[in-house]
Amino acid sequence: MKSTALALLTSVLLTSGSACSVDDRPVYSFVETNDAGEQVRVFKFAFTESKGDTCLGRGWKRVKVVYDAGNYTEDPVYRLENARLEVLLRNSVCDAYDSYIGEVKKDGSFSGNHVLYGWSSKTIGSVTGSLSMP
């Protein structure tokens, strides 16, 4: 069963007629900026309902990468609990996690941070997300 936030996110994305789609899934864009407000990277993802495996336990689902110009991501997965979304960008090393973590708002937008965590924790950028336009 989908969580309320995922159902809301999916509903917002699916009802927008101007969305890009991949395999009938809406595409969501994430833009990361550094402390100076400069754009660091852009990703476009389609969220799936397929189970994803991580070292972090259960409840993760696979992300289909639509755009990653720098080939930064590695087998990404996501978890959405209530309105808290975490996208694990690099899912290859246990105890060294590289994630976008933040909140999905009622309009479907995302606001959060790029966080490295495991043995320690460090925020390395700000992230916004929204429905991709064609």
- pLDDT beyond 90 at 16: no
What's the pLDDT tens digit per position in 90-109? Answer: 998 889 999 999 999 999 89
* One-letter identity of residue 107: D
pLDDT at 115: 97
Q: Report CA-CA distances (Å) from 84 to 40, 76, 133.
A: 23, 17, 23
Domain boundaries, the chain: 4-15+23-124
- Asked whether 2 and 115 are in contact (CB, 8 A), the reply is no
pLDDT at 121: 94
What's the pLDDT tens digit per position in 43-55? Answer: 999 999 999 999 9
- pLDDT beyond 70 at 17: no
